[in-house]
Structure formats: C-alpha cells, structure tokens
Amino acid sequence: MKNIVLEIKNQVYETLTLCQEYVKNLNWSTILLVLALLYVFFLRKWELKKILSFILVILLFFILLVRIEAFLTFTFGAEGSNITIGIGRTIFLIIAAVVFIYHAAIKD
C-alpha cells in the first residue's frame, strides 16, 4: 500500500512539473485576450456550475495533453516528436472546441 501511495505522489509531482514547464512557454497576452473574449460573449451568461464544469473538463484535457506530450517526447526524442506533438495539440484544440460547443448548447 505504501508503494501505491508513493507512486501516486510521484505521478502528481511529475504532472505538476510538466504543467509548470508547459505554462512557462505560453504567450500570456494571447491567452488573456481569448479568456476575456470568451467571458464577454459566452461565460457571463452561464451559471457558475456550468462554468466550473467547463473549466474542470478543460483542465483534465490539459493534463492529458501535457502527459501525452511528455510521452511522445520520451518516445521519439526531442527532435522527432515535433510533428506528433503538433498533431496532438491540434486534436486537443478540436476536442476543446467540441466541449465548449457542448457546454454552450446545454441549458442546465
């Protein structure tokens, strides 16, 4: 049982480290502008429960994206993984758009 708890702590720490490295390389002005536009056009009309649900799903997809990118970098090397990471980010963006459309379409 101690080994399982230790492995879970190790995986959480590794995921947080990967997320921290990913966030360091983001362009914050673009992200803040997109968030502001999302809020102005959509999120201000939503209930708090719907907003939190959307943010939770996107956060889980973000963690999945970071873990998949780390796996692809480990598998194909730093130079060989550029194409697969680009495809993974495109798929993540499409899935995030579908989740957003789903959350925008439901009434609850």
Averaged pLDDT in 10-residue chunks for the chain of 108 residues: 86 90 85 83 81 88 90 80 82 89 77
Q: Which pLDDT does position 107 carry in this prediction?
A: 66
- Distance separating alpha carbons of residues 33 and 61, to the nearest angstrom: 21
- Distance separating alpha carbons of residues 10 and 28, to the nearest angstrom: 29
Instruction: Compute how many other C-beta atoms are within 10 angstroms of the C-beta atom of residue 85.
Output: 16
Task: Compute CA distances 41 → 54, 58, 99, 104, whole Å.
Answer: 15, 18, 16, 11
